[in-house]
Chain A
Amino acid sequence: MNLLVCISKTPDTTAKISFKADDTEYNSDGVTFILNPYDEWYALVRAIELTEQNGGNVTVINVGPATNDIIIRKALAIGANDAVRIDTDASDAFTVASNIANYAKTKNFDIIFLGKETIDYNGSEVGAMIAELMDLPYVSYASKLDVQSALSTVTREIEGGEEVCQVEGSFVLSAAKGMAEQRIPNMKGIMMAKNKPLEVIAPMSGDVRVSTQKFVLPPAKSGVKLIDAENMDELVRLLHEEAKVI
């Protein structure tokens, strides 16, 4: 099996969120960056499991500058075979998707994996865009995947439940919880990762369709109002009269 896993670099889940340059850019001073958890724990690990069972190759791809190599090496340490980095800023979802699709079109990937979303932009758009650019089916929010030659069975999350689908041929999949279990890279993996191939390729040119104008922090909570544990009538009154939610 020839599998491609798209990976992103995101601030750590506990990172402080602040902005600079007149609130147009994320302030990364002192922030630890990680491999986007959905890409790592679910998409990448499931792809590696499939090649362990069936043979094959896992390529990871990232769109970003050389400072992203650290998360690419982590993916290689976990078990990907080789890596590609497209050397440009990930300005918007279209830039990322069009560059990945442009690369993937030249290779014969059986399945293209992504995490269900990145924990920074929470867009969940890139997978759908790659699928459309390559005219492939797209199964999003997948929590289970079994592959039997050219037929894959995928469970996907829908509102309040799940659906089991069958897909024919190659497709794009976004992975959610349940797909696989997190793997911690071991020392051998980390050493081997240093010598695995990482190809850097030039980006294609294209317009930025969506640009960031400004970030704002949500209004701070005015502070918690404590209610006497004996007096739940008072809580109900406040929820009705003050908060107006019931």
Chain B
Amino acid sequence: MSVLIYIENPNGHIKKSGFEVATYGAKLASSMGTNAIGLILGSATNAGDLGKCGLSKVLQANGLPTNEFDAQSYSHVIAQIAKDHQANVVILSNTANGKALTGRLAIKMEAGSVSGANALPDLSDGFSVTKSVYSGKAIVKYKINTKNKVISVMGNSLQPDMSGQAIDVEQITVTAPTTKLKVLERKTSDGIVPLPEAELVVSAGRGMKGPENWGIIEELATALGATTACSRPVADADWRPHHEHVGQTGVAIRPNLYIAAGISGAIQHLAGVNNSKVIVVINKDPEAPFFKAADYGVVGDLFEVVPRLTAAVKKFKHA
């Protein structure tokens, strides 16, 4: 028995979400009294750091085309390695790729699966996992009834614990199955933390009046080290790129801090952000529904409040 953790290494580098799942898997293995094995497909510059999360072994499987994600061939390799190491629990990140793998691995392993777990499993009565449902409006506790289990973990569900020792990475070779899917092109915004992984997010809506006014939002985001986001009408009007749209039909996020300026807070927008730990709302309309979901509110003209907040953040950072 063991717990296998698949850790993504986009562009040869493990991100914070990777260390989160490694920590999740190590803590779960420890409460199950078994070993945690980390797996990366292809190399990662910081793979040695995975051991610090409490893994007893880190495997690097070579032989698959990296940066060419194909759920069919990736799940084939992960399931084979799980079998070779008698892993009956597989843990992975609930990323775009992680979601595509969870269901496939569940079928291959005849496992019950939960996609988007928000906390460590409860082992007091069988094996139960909680996750957010109804677009953030409720939490469900699922019981997995099968011997094998597959769990994908929502980002920012726990803090990486890297207090252990770095360990050597063990190299293994796998045979890649033939694939029917080819990645032709990839477009990403370099150097910016993608929204689903962002801890701090600054978002703005129609109250901005036009795309030319976004400078003040970007300045606040830069001062905080935050990622920018927007509401649906703003993305629909092409004021901002679509991947910045958070809400029911856009990206669902759960940062530590979500600052919303000039967004009224329609229920469809809240569905994408109500798992944020702290919400700050800036709006000139004191009746904006968003204030009901907020922790802190500022009633005022965002064109005055946002630059003032940016100045206050800069002062705080330099203090």
Chain B contacts of A212 at CB under 8 A? 140-143
A141 to B179, CA, bound (A): 19
**From A17, A92, A159, contact of B95 by CB (8 A):** A159
Mask, B172-213, CB within 8 Å of A = 1, is 000000011111111111001111110110000000000000
**From B100, B114, B145, B296, contact of A128 by CB (8 A):** B100
Residues A235 and B96 in contact, CB atoms below 8 Å apart? no
Q: State how many angstroms separate the Cβ of B274 from the closest Cβ of chain A.
A: 7
Chain B contacts of A14 at CB under 8 A? 267
Residues A210 and B145 in contact, CB atoms below 8 Å apart? yes
B88, CB-defined interface residue at 8 Å: no
Looking at B23-31, B37-45, B49-57, B308-316, the stretch in contact with chain A turns out to be: B308-316
Chain B residues 246 to 304 lying within 8 A of chain A, measured CB to CB, are 248-250, 252, 256-257, 267-268, 271, 274-275, 277-278, 280-281, 291-301, 304
**From A13, A125, A156, contact of B267 by CB (8 A):** A13
Among A177, A243, A246, residue most surrounded by chain B Cβ atoms (within 10 Å): A246
At the interface, is chain A mostly helix, strand, loop or mixed? mixed
The range of chain B's interface size is 35 or more
**From B139, B146, B184, B186, contact of A215 by CB (8 A):** B139
Looking at A54-62, A68-76, A185-193, A216-224, the stretch in contact with chain B turns out to be: A216-224
Residues A171 and B180 in contact, CB atoms below 8 Å apart? yes
**From A92, A164, A169, A216, contact of B180 by CB (8 A):** A169
Residues B99 and A124 in contact, CB atoms below 8 Å apart? yes
**From A135, A169, A215, contact of B138 by CB (8 A):** A215
A64, CB-defined interface residue at 8 Å: no
Residues B249 and A17 in contact, CB atoms below 8 Å apart? no
Chain B residue with minimal CB distance to A122? B133
Q: State how many angstroms separate the Cβ of A31 from the closest Cβ of chain B.
A: 11
A146, CB-defined interface residue at 8 Å: no
Chain B residues 38 to 75 lying within 8 A of chain A, measured CB to CB, are 69-72, 75
A121 to B75, CA, bound (A): 23
Mask, B117-154, CB within 8 Å of A = 1, is 00000000000100111111111111111100000000
Count residues of chain A with CB under 8 A from any CB of chain B.
Answer: 82
Residues B137 and A17 in contact, CB atoms below 8 Å apart? yes
Chain B residue with minimal CB distance to A98? B107
A129-B103, A162-B187 as given contacts; A210 in contact with B257, CB under 8 Å: no
Q: State how many angstroms separate the Cβ of A176 from the closest Cβ of chain B.
A: 8
Please, could you name 26 A-B residue pairs with CB atoms under 8 Å apart, sorted by A?
A: A13-B135, A119-B248, A124-B116, A132-B104, A137-B181, A140-B71, A143-B242, A156-B96, A160-B243, A163-B187, A165-B181, A166-B182, A166-B184, A178-B242, A207-B146, A209-B112, A209-B145, A215-B139, A216-B140, A221-B292, A224-B296, A226-B299, A229-B305, A236-B313, A236-B315, A246-B257
Binding site for A on B (CB under 8 A): 10, 69-72, 75, 95-97, 99-104, 106-108, 111-116, 128, 131-146, 179-189, 192-197, 199-200, 224, 242-243, 245, 248-250, 252, 256-257, 267-268, 271, 274-275, 277-278, 280-281, 291-301, 304-305, 308-309, 311-313, 315-316
